[in-house]
Structure 1
Amino acid sequence: MNIYAYSRAEATPLTLLERIQSLDATRHVSSYVAFVISGHCVGQIHRRLIPLLLSINGDGRIPLFSRIQGRCGAEAITLDDDLSTNEERTRAMNIVTDDLIRNGIIKCRHGDRYGLYNEGSNVRELLCMVDRNAASCFGATSVGVHLLCYRKCCVRTDRQDSIQDCDAGSVSLWMAQRSESKSSFPLKWDPTVAGGQPTDLSFVENLVKEANEEAGIDDSLARRATAVSCLSQMTSKPNGTCMKQSLYHCWDLEVDENFLPYARDGEVTKFELWDSDKLEDEVRQGNNLRPAMRLVVVDFLIRHGIIKPDDEQNYATIQAAMHRERLILWSE
Structure 2
Amino acid sequence: MAIKTNLDLVNETDNFPYYEDGRENYTDFLSSYWEFHLQGWSKPLGYIPEWAVEKMPWGDLWELDTKKRTVKPGRLESVPSQEELIRATLEKARDSKVFEVLKGWRNELYPIFGPRNTIENIVSMERAGSALFGINSYGVHMTVYVQTEEGMKIWVPRRARNKQTYGGYLDNTVAGGVSTGEKPFECMIRESAEEASFPEDLVRSKAKVCGTVSYIHIRDKRAGGETGLFQPECQHVYDMEVPADVVPKPNDNEVEEFYLWTVEEVQKAMAEGQIKPNCALVLLDFFVRHGILTAENEPDYVEIVSRLHRKLPFPTS
- CA 1:87/1:325 → structure 2, altered by over 3 Å: closer, same or farther? farther
Classify the secondary structure of the residue corresponding to 1:190. coil
Equivalent residues, number: 291
Q: Does 1:94 align with 2:97?
A: no
Give 1:199's aligned residue. Answer: 180
- CA 1:286/1:87 → structure 2, altered by over 3 Å: closer, same or farther? farther
Determine which of 149, 160, 164 is the counterpart of 2:144. Answer: 149
Give 1:66's aligned residue. Answer: 64
Give 1:113's aligned residue. Answer: 109
Any unmatched runs of 5+ in structure 2?
18-28, 222-226
* Matched ranges for 1:44-55 at <5 A: 44-53=47-56, 55=57
CA–CA distance in structure 2, aligned partners of residues 182 and 14 of structure 1: 24
Tell me if structure 2 keeps the 8 A contact 1:173–1:191: no
Q: Does 1:208 align with 2:189?
A: yes
Q: Does 1:22 align with 2:4?
A: no
Q: How many percent of aligned residue pairs carry the same amino acid?
A: 23
Tell me if structure 2 keeps the 8 A contact 1:34–1:43: yes
CA–CA distance in structure 2, aligned partners of residues 133 and 178 of structure 1: 18
| CA deviation string 1:47-75 (max 9, x = no partner) | 0011234x522xxxx33232165xxxx53
Q: Give the TM-score taking structure 1 as reference length.
A: 0.82
- CA 1:14/1:149 → structure 2, altered by over 3 Å: closer, same or farther? closer
Classify the secondary structure of the residue corresponding to 2:13. coil
CA–CA distance in structure 2, aligned partners of residues 116 and 296 of structure 1: 23
Q: Give the TM-score taking structure 2 as reference length.
A: 0.85
Give 1:222's aligned residue. Answer: 203
CA–CA distance in structure 2, aligned partners of residues 99 and 108 of structure 1: 15
Classify the secondary structure of the residue corresponding to 1:223. helix
Give 1:303's aligned residue. Answer: 289
Determine which of 226, 231, 242 is the counterpart of 1:244. Answer: 231
Q: CA deviation at 1:40?
A: 3.0
CA–CA distance in structure 2, aligned partners of residues 126 and 87 of structure 1: 17
RMSD: 2.1
| CA deviation string 1:294-318 (max 9, x = no partner) | 1011111111111111111111110
Q: CA deviation at 1:104?
A: 2.8
Give 1:56's aligned residue. Answer: 58
Classify the secondary structure of the residue corresponding to 1:313. coil
Q: CA deviation at 1:117?
A: 2.1
Tell me if structure 2 keeps the 8 A contact 1:171–1:276: yes
Amino acid at match of 1:46: P
- CA 1:15/1:288 → structure 2, altered by over 3 Å: closer, same or farther? closer
Any unmatched runs of 5+ in structure 1?
7-12, 156-169
Tell me if structure 2 keeps the 8 A contact 1:282–1:289: yes
